[in-house]
């Protein structure tokens, strides 16, 4: 009976993904650059037809100004695999230099299925395995898995807008699962693979580092284990980067493409501190790119220190999971060149706490989805966004223990009122974005208001989860077995 319920829940998650995939994708019918859908298709074209040494270089057959590859090698290998399959089905889909902007129903179906297969093969098992290890009743596991799998951000960005975040997020989650079980080496391999798939996984890197280092430093007898972890990390990186290690030129070009400092402080109207401050302080005009990079680096490191040092000193499973939230939120709010879609990284970390802190997690789910509203409007995904948000709200209300105003404690009533007012404000801004015409002098007024409003919430969440982490300083290490 329980196995059947699990299967039904997973099929529901697949069905909702399929329904979202029926909508438009990024850049549909918008030449000359189209959008992220075309970027992924173009990478399949480039990686399939050219040798690895040419993937990241500008050349006759690879114009980097047209969606040049700018993700780490594991993304390139995945693109090659998809490109090889596409070539077998229909060579015109990835024809070198002749397939730019290719759009057809059959190709859209193929591209959608590549995301769905990756999601089901990597992200689904990681979510299920995480909740299995929580030692909950199977009904609770099913409910929590459904809450995470139906989070609108994961659905709308990968299966609507079009990306493969499910791969890197799934690998990172596998890393959390193995490390929490005491399998530090396997966890390190999985996280290294996640980082080599998308460089944004740096948002989660410091908690992994501090937890493993702190655990090893607790006893002198664990020092050899630290060297084992270092060896595994170096071996995994070497295997991923092997085709590009033949020369310094190749290596530095890949790094240059993966970390493009020339792109600017942030992407579009993102809900972080720098974009919000830009309303009052024109940072891009006041400082050079190099100065902005240094400011972002110092600010990010400064706000990372409390959570990271605490985890280093008290390396237990719960602090590890909360530190993942704090680290990813700090990176999103203060680091250089942030995309609005990067909020999925804090969302993954938040999902690890949904059983213990459902109130804050559900509130974060709602606001993080709302923060991407301008992107959904741009991609004609607003109907899908409304539908998935409504479905997720229903699932959260059914599957989680949420108390809205039922507690006698004043703080519980206050935060419930805050959440309700927050949602009302988000709905008002949504209506304004969809129905009102901004003043000619401020054409981006409503997207900017969405960013500032969301950013204020993310700062609040950052404070709350820092308080939660420091509230559990005395909790003992829960890991007993290490392999």
pLDDT in tens, 79-113: 999 999 999 999 999 999 999 999 999 999 999 99
Q: Does the pLDDT of residue 135 top 90, yes or no?
A: no
Contact (Cβ atoms closer than 8 angstroms) between residue 224 and residue 99:
no
Q: Which residues of 104-130 are buried (b: 16+ CB within 10 A; e: fewer)?
A: eeebbebbbebbbebbbebbbebbbbb
pTM over 0.85: yes
Alpha-carbon distances, residue 11 vs 18, 26, 344, 373 (angstroms): 10, 26, 22, 27
The CB density around residue 65, as the number of other CB atoms within 10 Å, is 7
Backbone φ and ψ of 407, nearest 5°: -85, 150
Alpha-carbon distances, residue 33 vs 27, 37, 39 (angstroms): 8, 10, 9
Parse the chain into domains and list their residue ranges.
2-28+103-470, 29-102
- pLDDT, tens digit, 9 for 90 and up, residues 201-216: 999 999 999 999 999 9
Instruction: Say what the pLDDT of residue 435 is.
Output: 95
Q: Does the pLDDT of residue 405 top 60, yes or no?
A: no
Structure tokens at 429: 């801004």
Average pLDDT estimate for 217-229: 93
The model's confidence at residue 349, banded by pLDDT at 50, 70 and 90, is very high
Instruction: Say what the pLDDT of residue 110 is.
Output: 97
The model's confidence at residue 472, banded by pLDDT at 50, 70 and 90, is low
Task: Give the mean pLDDT of the chain.
Answer: 92
**What is the spatial distance between Cα 93 and Cα 114, in angstroms, rounded to a whole number?**
14
Counting Cβ atoms within 10 Å, is residue 459 exposed (0-12), middle (13-18) or buried (19+)?
middle
Q: Does the pLDDT of residue 408 top 80, yes or no?
A: no
Q: Is the previous residue joined to 32 through a cis bond, with omega within 30 degrees of 0?
A: yes
Nearest to 203 by CA among 354, 346, 391: 346
- pLDDT, tens digit, 9 for 90 and up, residues 242-300: 999 989 999 999 999 998 777 778 777 899 999 999 888 888 888 888 899 999 999 99
Instruction: Say what the pLDDT of residue 476 is.
Output: 45
Q: If you write DSSP's letter for every residue of 107-157 in order, what string do you get? A: HHHHHHHHHHHHIIIIIHHHHHHHHHTTT--HHHHHHHHHHHHT-HHHHHI
Average pLDDT estimate for 5-10: 90
Instruction: Say what the pLDDT of residue 403 is.
Output: 64
Contacts for 6-13 with beta carbons within 8 Å, 24 or more apart? Answer: 6/128, 6/138, 6/141, 6/142, 6/145, 9/142, 9/145, 9/146, 9/149, 10/124, 10/128, 10/145, 10/149, 12/146, 12/150, 13/124, 13/146, 13/149, 13/150
What percent of the chain shows pLDDT beyond 90? 83
Q: Does the pLDDT of residue 160 top 90, yes or no?
A: yes
Instruction: Say what the pLDDT of residue 281 is.
Output: 87
Instruction: Say what the pLDDT of residue 82 is.
Output: 98
Q: Does the pLDDT of residue 404 top 70, yes or no?
A: no
Nearest to 310 by CA among 470, 177, 482: 470
Structure tokens at 458: 């993310």
Q: Does the pLDDT of residue 197 top 60, yes or no?
A: yes
What percent of the chain shows pLDDT beyond 70? 96
Q: Which residues pair with 59 in a beta bridge?
A: 62
Q: Does the pLDDT of residue 482 top 60, yes or no?
A: no
**What is the spatial distance between Cα 36 and Cα 58, in angstroms, rounded to a whole number?**
20
């Amino acid at each position: 009976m329980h196995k059947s319920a699990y299967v039904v829940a997973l099929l529901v998650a697949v069905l909702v993904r399929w329904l979202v995939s029926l909508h438009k994708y990024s850049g549909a019918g918008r030449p000359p650059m189209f959008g992220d859908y075309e970027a992924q298709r173009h990478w399949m074209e480039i990686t399939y037809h050219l040798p690895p040494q040419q993937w990241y270089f500008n050349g006759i057959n690879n114009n980097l100004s047209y969606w040049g590859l700018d993700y780490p090698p594991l993304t390139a290998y995945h693109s090659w695999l998809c490109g090889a399959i596409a070539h077998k089905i229909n060579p015109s889909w990835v024809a070198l230099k002749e397939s730019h902007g290719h759009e057809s129903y059959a190709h859209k179906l193929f591209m959608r299925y590549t995301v769905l297969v990756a999601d089901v093969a990597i992200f689904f098992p990681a979510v299920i395995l995480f909740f299995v290890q929580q030692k909950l009743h199977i009904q609770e596991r099913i409910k929590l898995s459904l809450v995470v799998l139906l989070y609108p951000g994961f659905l709308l960005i990968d299966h609507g807008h079009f990306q493969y975040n499910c791969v890197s997020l799934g690998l990172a989650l596998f890393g959390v699962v193995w490390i929490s079980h005491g399998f530090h080496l396997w966890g390190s391999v999985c996280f290294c693979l996640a980082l080599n798939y998308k460089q944004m996984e740096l948002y989660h890197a410091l908690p992994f580092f501090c937890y493993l280092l702190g655990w090893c430093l607790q006893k002198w007898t664990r020092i050899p284990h630290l060297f084992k972890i270092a060896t595994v990390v170096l071996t995994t990186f070497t295997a991923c980067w092997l085709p590009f290690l033949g020369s310094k030129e190749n290596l530095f070009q890949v790094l240059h493409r993966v970390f493009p400092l020339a792109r600017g402080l942030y992407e579009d109207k993102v809900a972080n501190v720098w974009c919000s401050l830009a309303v009052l302080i024109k940072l891009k005009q006041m400082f050079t790119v190099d100065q902005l990079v240094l400011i972002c680096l110092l600010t990010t490191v400064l706000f990372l220190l409390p959570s990271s040092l605490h985890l280093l000193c008290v390396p237990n499973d719960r602090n590890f999971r909360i530190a993942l939230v704090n680290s990813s939120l700090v990176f999103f709010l203060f680091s250089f060149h942030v995309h609005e879609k990067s909020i999925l990284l804090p969302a993954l970390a938040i999902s690890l706490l949904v059983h213990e802190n459902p109130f804050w997690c559900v509130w974060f789910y709602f606001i993080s989805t709302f923060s991407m509203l301008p992107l959904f409007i741009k991609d004609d995904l607003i109907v899908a966004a409304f539908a998935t948000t409504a479905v997720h709200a229903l699932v959260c209300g059914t599957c989680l223990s949420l108390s809205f105003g039922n507690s006698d404690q004043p703080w519980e009533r206050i935060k419930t009122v805050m959440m309700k007012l927050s949602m009302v404000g988000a709905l008002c801004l949504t209506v304004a974005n969809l129905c009102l015409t901004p003043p000619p002098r401020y054409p981006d007024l409503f997207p900017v208001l969405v960013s500032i409003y969301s950013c204020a919430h993310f700062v609040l969440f950052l404070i709350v989860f820092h308080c939660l982490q420091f509230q559990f300083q005395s909790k003992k290490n829960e890991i007993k077995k290490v392999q």
